[in-house]
Amino acid sequence: MLNRIFGLETEYGLLVNQDRPDHSPSWVAQRIRDHIFHVARRGVLDLHHRGHDEPPGNGGFLTNAGRLYIDMGHLEYASPECTTLADLVASDRAGDRIIQQAVTALGLEETVSLIKNNIDHETDATFGSHENYLVTRQFPFSRRGLGPLVTFLVTRQVFTGAGRIGCAGDPNEWVQIGGLILHRPGLRDAQDRSIVPFQISQRADYIVNDFFEWVQHNRAIVNTRDEPLADPNQYRRIHLLCGDSNMAEYATALKMGTTGLVLQLIEAGQAPRGLGINEPVEALQEISRDPDRQWIVQLESGQSISALDIQEQFLAAAQRHCQGQDEETDWVLEQWESVLTDLRQGYDKLVGRIDWASKLWLLEAYREAEELAWDDPMLKSLDLEYHNLHPARGLCYGIEEEGRGLRLTTDKSVQLAEDHPPRNTRAFGRGELVRHLLNSVAKGPGADVAHSYGDHASCEYIINWSNFKLRDAAPFFMADPFKTYVQDVRSHLIER
């Protein structure tokens, strides 16, 4: 992909499969984290406070230059910076495997299930999948400039959604408008919430605004906080939280690849015009819940148009402007067209590629075989099992094993990504730093720096995405995500 840095952040659900569990899911999450850092020695824990909700030891950077930490009780994995979809998909699945391997090593396979989804069916809680895309500081980051992105994001769920049984009983209805906290009117079909059997997106119910800065309680289609994690004079980071966690590698690559191309269209002033959606938040949820999968939305012009028609206009613009720029771009354009064509013929053609289609196919087959109604509790269990990270239990993995699921990685490439970062971004330099610190602990006189918690001045090291500091050494800045810094990091460590 052209001049793009990609990153994914995934929060995992955790089920303790006991009627009367001895410990809470958050306690288990802490044990998994501690095993990864202290026993498996896959990284170094933070020694400093990263925030009021991230005390020392809450998480840290891994040897693959990603981060693993606990966020509001959930294990969360952030991939390293990637310039290719191949690296991103491998790094994403590497995070899944690192966590599942810890569960196995701890002897918890029979009592704990790690679930890569976005909803808790029992409490209606949601947890996130955050996408990150680097753009230039000249990107038109305004309501008008971001209008095409909103339209694209509202309609892309037809191939990026992970699918779910039912819907949220009472999604966040209170939103901030200016300085006021106001009650958002419900959906036009609000009275029918209880009879929505299946929808194509897990996060749609929880998005209540088109633009907003903060992540929790007022989730927006486009998150507007300005935190580039790079040189702020050159870069901006587009941080999205409206999408679902994908199990299918194909869906992950298509989600990130198409979104990256739409950002490129916006940067170049080539995005389709006249496609502003009248009520984007309502449209997001109506598309997700449409039982007939017609996916009709109303534009600001008053015209009614299908999500597939909108996606085809974005595809055509990308084909005109981006075709031939590199191999991955051409793959995305080819698969984007293929998916839209197949969606017009029936969702069953997408089984193994698109998560919601695969899940619906499994659920319908089971319902028919067992003669179950949509509200049968067993279907919710199967919904969760589709996202189970255990390779022998996850239903998505089962589809792959049967040959219907399309793998974009190999087991070898994922295994490599568990321990090693991409070698063409600053993740390479950060990985060298983490590995050096691990070796220093192993060779030291028995002092484990991972337990030397204290204030910033006394910390042996402080590591952030765009800089780090070692004790008694000057800060080292990595403001350019496209630069590896690997030789500079090695020199800095020697000089120290």
Q: Look at residues 101, 46, 30 and name the one whose alpha carbon lies nearest to residue 391.
A: 101
pLDDT at position 234 over 60: yes
Is 412 in the same domain as 367?
Answer: no
Q: Is the pLDDT reported for residue 354 higher than 50?
A: yes
- Residue 105 pLDDT level (bands cut at 50, 70, 90): very high
* pTM of the predicted structure, to 2 decimals: 0.92
> In the chain, how many domains are there?
2
Domain boundary among 355, 386, 417: 386
Quote the CA–CA distance of 398 and 100 in Å, as a whole number: 16
In the predicted model, what is the mean pLDDT of residues 206-218? 74
Instruction: Please state, in angstroms and rounded to a whole number, the distance separating the CA atoms of residues 399 and 420.
Output: 28
**Tokens linked to 255:** 């989600």
pLDDT at 424 over 90: yes
> Within a domain: residue 4?
yes
Same domain as 99, residue 49? yes
Q: Give the CA count within 13 Å in the CB-facing half-sphere of 295.
A: 22
> Do 422 and 343 share a structural domain?
no
The pLDDT of residue 446 is above 70: no
Would the pLDDT of 186 be above 90? no
Are residue 68 and residue 152 in the same domain, yes or no?
Answer: no
106 and 205 part of one domain: no
pLDDT tens-digit readout, 327-347: 999 999 999 999 999 999 999
Residue 395 lies in a domain: no
pLDDT at 271 over 90: yes
Is 54 within the bounds of a domain? yes
> What is the pLDDT at residue 183?
47
Going by pLDDT thresholds of 50, 70 and 90, the confidence category of residue 457 is low
For residue 79, give the amino acid letter: S
pLDDT at residue 438 above 90? yes
pLDDT for 49 beyond 70? yes
Does 71 participate in catalysis according to the annotation? yes
In a domain, 138, yes or no: yes
Max CA separation in the chain (angstroms): 72
Q: Is 300 contained in some domain?
A: yes
Within-domain flag for 393: no
Report pLDDT for 180. Answer: 44
* 145 & 107 share domain: no
- For residues 196 and 329, membership in a common domain is answered with yes
**Residue 489 in this model has a pLDDT that exceeds 50:** yes
**Residue 392 included in any domain:** no
Tokens of 205: 């119910």
pLDDT for 437 beyond 70: yes
Last residue of a domain, one of 356, 386, 416: 386
In this structure, are 212 and 323 located in the same domain? yes
For the purposes of burial, counting CB atoms within 10 Å of the CB of 216, is it exposed (0-12), middle (13-18) or buried (19 or more)? exposed
pLDDT at residue 217 greater than cutoff 90: no
Q: Do 218 and 333 fall within a single domain?
A: yes
Domain that holds residue 41: 1-116+405-496
Q: Is there a single domain that holds both residue 91 and residue 135? A: no
Q: pLDDT by residue (tens digit) across 381-394?
A: 999 999 999 999 99
Both 233 and 170 in one domain: the answer is: yes
**What is the pLDDT confidence band of residue 447, given thresholds at 50, 70 and 90?**
very low
Q: Which of 46, 71, 92, 205 is catalytic?
A: 71
